[in-house]
Amino acid sequence: MNRFKSYISLFKFRLSLTVSFSASIGFILPECDFSFLNFLFLIVGGSFLTFSANGFNQILEIKEDSLMKRTKVRPLVVNSITKKEAFFSSLIIFIVSILLLFKINFLSFVFGFLAFLIYVFIYTPLKKKTPLSIVAGAVSGSLPFMLGWVARTGDFDVEPGFLFALQFLWQFPHFFSIASLYVNDYKNA
């Protein structure tokens, strides 16, 4: 695996783009002044934040990833990227992402940071202990809509809460459909 493809895999590039897409929808929906610069900060900052969370997730799950058919070719498992390289690249883009979100407004920083913390430090370790981890995963996966909304408006209201609830409820059938395909892999890990 070449270095570029290894980093694309480490950061789960396609998945990260869907997260940024959710944030962009949250940004586009409110009826208020549109700042192209804030939109750009949101897309880049949100993508980098997701890249970073995915990188740290893979660092924490090298052993488990090596046991599952669908993840045994990830870059840290096959050592196409070292753990140290993954850590520092994930840390650098995390810092950049948080700074960009903070430049938009404080609430964008808070929701972005919260999504990162929940995904890396609650969801990832809980996956090994309880199926209830999907609740934490659903929360972190649902925050991008709200992040987009507060990036545009600087305020939290009923609308972003509704968007959060829709995304939150969608996470469960999404997860269960994936889990049903890989039930044996999950048992092995």
129-159 pLDDT per residue, tens: 888 888 999 999 999 999 999 999 999 889 8
Average pLDDT score, the chain: 91
pLDDT at 163: 85
For the chain, the three-class secondary structure string (H helix, E strand, C coil) is CCHHHHHHHHCCHHHHHHHHHHHHHHHHCCCCCCCHHHHHHHHHHHHHHHHHHHHHHHHHCHHHHHHCCCCCCCCCCCCCCCHHHHHHHHHHHHHHHHHHHHHHCHHHHHHHHHHHHHHHHHHHHHCCCCCCHHHHHHHHHHHHHHHHHHHHHCCCCHHHHHHHHHHHHHHHHHHHHHHHHCHHHHHHC
Question: pTM of the entire structure?
Answer: 0.90
Q: List, for residues 58-108, the tens digit of each pLDDT value.
A: 999 999 999 888 889 999 999 999 999 999 999 999 999 999 999 999 999
pLDDT of residue 69: 84
Q: What is the mean pLDDT of residues 4-11?
A: 96
